Amino acid sequence: MLTIADSTDADLARAVAARGPGSAEAAESELYRRFAPRVRLYGLRHLRDEDAARDLVQQVMLVTIEKLRGGSVRDVDQIASFVLGVSRSMAKDLKRLERRREKLLEAFTVPDIVEAPMGDTTLDVGRLETCLARLAERERMVVLLTFYAERTSGEVGKELGVKDGNVRVIRHRAIERLRTCMTSGEVVQ
């Protein structure tokens, strides 16, 4: 017998769509469990802010479940595409709101207080510090410019005097080294 965990995304969407509000709780929960992390990642990449990404998850999942319950998702077999579409549209709205908020902040306040976001709880940051220190200078600069300063390979290349294709190679190699170091404690030379 198939369980909720064995069901495909489309099975779950169909289960929610076929039954009335509140009668497919397990399917709704599983849909949420699967899609919330994907929407969060989408939000993090496009909005570059953990709080905004969290807001996006809430809004997107609410709309998705409501639309499924109301039978207004045209093709439940393509539920992933539907969630992506809602994410795109809502992220655009959030970006617009953020731009307006930034303009207001620039006009009325002194923007010098930046609250440090919470660190990732699942990662051993102490270990990562050691691994980062073991990278070559060029690799460390590339990963920090990418992940902290949020620069593209073209921008990093311009800054370091390296072609953007080379930046991508250096970045890929650096991430592999960090991963190896994080999991095995070794640095690939």
Partner 1 sequence: MMPRCQAPISDGTLLDYWAHDLADGDETGHVEEHLFACGDCSARLHRLAALGTGLATLVRQGRVSGIVSRTLLNRMQRDGLHIRMYSLVPGETVPCAVFPGDDLIVTALRADFSAVEAVTLSVTGPGDSPFSQLDNVPVSRPDGEVLWATSAAVVRQMSSMRLQLTLASAGATRTELGRYVLEHSASTPPS
Q: Which of residues 142-171 bind partner 1 (CB under 8 A)?
A: 143-154, 159-162, 164, 168, 171
Q: Transcribe 11-68 into DSSP letters.
A: HHHHHHHHS-TTS-HHHHHHHHHHHHHHHHHHHHHHH--HHHHHHHHHHHHHHHHHHH
Q: Which of 19, 132, 180, 187 binds partner 1 (CB under 8 A)?
A: 132
Give the nearest distance from C-beta 108 to partner 1 in angstroms. 19
Task: Work out whether 13 is an interface residue with partner 1 (CB under 8 A).
Answer: no
Give the nearest distance from C-beta 182 to partner 1 in angstroms. 8
Beta carbons within 10 angstroms of residue 141's beta carbon: 19
Task: Return the half-sphere exposure (C-beta side, CA atoms, 13 A cut-off) of residue 81.
Answer: 6
Residue closer to partner 1 by CB (options 20, 110) is 110
Residue closer to partner 1 by CB (options 21, 92) is 92
Q: Which of 62, 125, 163, 185 binds partner 1 (CB under 8 A)?
A: 125
Cα 32 to Cα 188: distance, rounded to the nearest angstrom: 39
Residues 56-95 as x/- pattern, contact with partner 1 by CB under 8 A: ------------------------xx-xx--x--------
Residue found by looking up tokens 């009668």 in the block: 23
Residue of 94, 92, 80, 86 whose CA lies nearest to 50: 94
SS3 state of residue 117 = coil
Find the helix packing angle between 50-69 and 25-47, rounded to 10°: 140
Q: Which of 54, 175, 180, 187 binds partner 1 (CB under 8 A)?
A: 175
Residue closer to partner 1 by CB (options 19, 140) is 140
Main-chain dihedrals φ then ψ at residue 140, nearest 5 degrees: -65, -45
Residues that bind partner 1 (CB under 8 A): 5-6, 8-9, 34-35, 37-38, 41-42, 44-45, 80-81, 83-84, 87, 112-114, 116-117, 119-120, 122-123, 125, 128-129, 132-133, 136-138, 140-141, 143-154, 159-162, 164, 168, 171-172, 175-176, 178-179, 182
